[in-house]
A and B are shown apart, each in its own frame.
Chain A
Amino acid sequence: MSEAHARIDTLVEQIAAGDRRLLARTASAIERVEPRVDELSDALYRAGGRGHVVGITGPPGAGKSTLVDALISEWRERDQRVAVLAIDPSSPLTGGATLGDRYRMMRHHADQGVFIRSMANRGLPGGLAPTTIDLVQLLDVAGFDIILVETVGVGQSETAIAALAETTVLVQVPGTGDGLQALKAGILELGDLLVVTKGDLPGARDLRGELRAMLALDPETGKRRPPVILTSARSGTGIVETVDGIAEHRAWLAVSGTGEQRRVTQGRSAILSMVGALVARRMGPGADDGLVLRVAARELSPREAARQIVDD
């Protein structure tokens, strides 16, 4: 084994042993995409696989961070160690970002069993950041029982979280549309749990009813129906039920065999996106300029150029 490999293995061991400063530093090294980061990611992947990866997604301002804050407290009551990756959008104009999710979770600051890290999505579409998947592995190896990924505020079709999380919690908020919205395709189909936040607002109960009615229309019998839970951060309603629901979903994944299928599907999608990333890295800025210029001059179609790169 090379010296670099041995040092990466030592780093992984130190993180697993609970070195918090090193954990934070390693997260930065991954976000910076340091030259040796691939070997680190490989080592983390091999060492991980224990924590429950939970996604929280939903529209901007729906109360995702406030819900996460309440969920952390409930998990801590149950002696679960919780890590949070909270993702906010980068500016398409300047690359800067306001990472404001942590603001809602500050009360957990003194708790060594809680680790919160803010990430900018660095322009990646889909609701996650380019290195979210690697940071999830890192936190898993660091021994957190729950690894919560709070996506960018999403619209209808940002579904990347479902390819990463074991359990996806879809947050919906009252006052954003009528019953027809609940029938639409897209992210609504991917929630393993549906949570209606701001349950004290008018329309919250109606929305829960519409979502339940939508789920009941599924013609397949014997299928698991995602629970629809009404929460209110103001009163604490629904938080225990949500944490129970997330644990029950994991148990169901194991018992039904769905978890195994899902790991296969997610493995396939992870490989595909990695192939895309490797090709993009090989193309690099300037690397395949000859091909690019020929495409620009319409001598080659983009598909022909892509074939040449892939067949190389």
Chain B
Amino acid sequence: MTTPNEQGSGARTTPIRILVAKPGLDGHDRGARVLVRAFRDAGFEVIYTGLFQTPEMIASAALDEDVDVVGLSILSGAHMALFPRIMAELKSRGVDDVLVVAGGTIPLEDIPEIERLGVDRVFGPGTRLDEIVGYIRERAPRRDALLPE
């Protein structure tokens, strides 16, 4: 499990920005929409990119939007094919300090390998929304100021 950058200090002054994406070819985004709503209600700014996203689409959106968190929802079973590519595309764009979390129908035995890739946490079916929100709130990176002191 990777530890996101925590060197930034102090309280968060602006909402957590999170990208919610559905990689791959399953056509069900009910779960993703429930999460979008839960994150919005938790005070996050949620960018929803919709269904059928390629790894390149997800990574370029994360780059331009400069999100703190990328949430991947996947039900197709193609996670072992897609997650390595998503992590590689993020890395190739220099997006190396986001918290990446995933959820959906992912067998338990795949989780250690996914976490080795740099996905911080995999939430299985039936996870409570407040558990996911609480986890993200605690773990989302706090960025150091970009501009000089």
A186 touches B (CB below 8 Å)? no
Knowing A7-B148, A36-B147, A106-B49, the reply to whether A118 touches B65 (Cβ < 8 A) is yes
Q: Which of B50-70 contact A (CB under 8 A)?
A: 50, 53, 56-57, 60-61, 63-66
- Whether B48 and A96, one on each chain, are in contact in the complex, defined by CB atoms closer than 8 angstroms, is no
A8 touches B (CB below 8 Å)? yes
Closest Cβ neighbor of A31 among chain B residues: B14
A3 touches B (CB below 8 Å)? yes
- Whether A21 and B15, one on each chain, are in contact in the complex, defined by CB atoms closer than 8 angstroms, is no
- Whether B149 and A24, one on each chain, are in contact in the complex, defined by CB atoms closer than 8 angstroms, is no
Question: Which of B36-44, B78-86, B111-119, B123-131 lies at the binding interface?
Answer: B36-44
**Which of under 10, 10 to 19, 20 to 34, or 35 or more describes the interface residues of A?**
35 or more
B88 touches A (CB below 8 Å)? no
A100 touches B (CB below 8 Å)? yes
Hey, what's the 0/1 contact readout for A34-46 against B, CB within 8 Å counting as 1? 1111011000000
Knowing A96-B42, A97-B15, A98-B36, the reply to whether A25 touches B146 (Cβ < 8 A) is yes
- Whether A24 and B40, one on each chain, are in contact in the complex, defined by CB atoms closer than 8 angstroms, is no
CB contacts (< 8 Å) of A27 on chain B: these are 66
- Whether A117 and B64, one on each chain, are in contact in the complex, defined by CB atoms closer than 8 angstroms, is yes
Knowing A24-B66, A36-B148, the reply to whether A98 touches B143 (Cβ < 8 A) is no
State A95–B64 Cα separation when bound (angstroms).
22
A214 touches B (CB below 8 Å)? no
Hey, what's the 0/1 contact readout for A10-32 against B, CB within 8 Å counting as 1? 01000000001100111111011
B94 touches A (CB below 8 Å)? yes
Interface hub of A3, A39, A95, A115 (most chain B Cβ within 10 A): A95
Knowing A95-B43, A98-B36, A110-B56, the reply to whether A4 touches B49 (Cβ < 8 A) is no
Q: Which of B45, B57, B147 contacts A97 (CB 8 A)?
A: B45
A162 touches B (CB below 8 Å)? no
- Whether A98 and B64, one on each chain, are in contact in the complex, defined by CB atoms closer than 8 angstroms, is no
Q: Which 5 pairs between the two chains have the least Cβ-Cβ distance? A: A36-B147, A96-B40, A24-B66, A29-B146, A4-B148
Q: Which residues of A approach B to under 8 Å, CB–CB? A: 3-4, 7-8, 11, 20-21, 24-29, 31-37, 39-40, 90-91, 94-100, 102-103, 106, 109-110, 115-118, 120
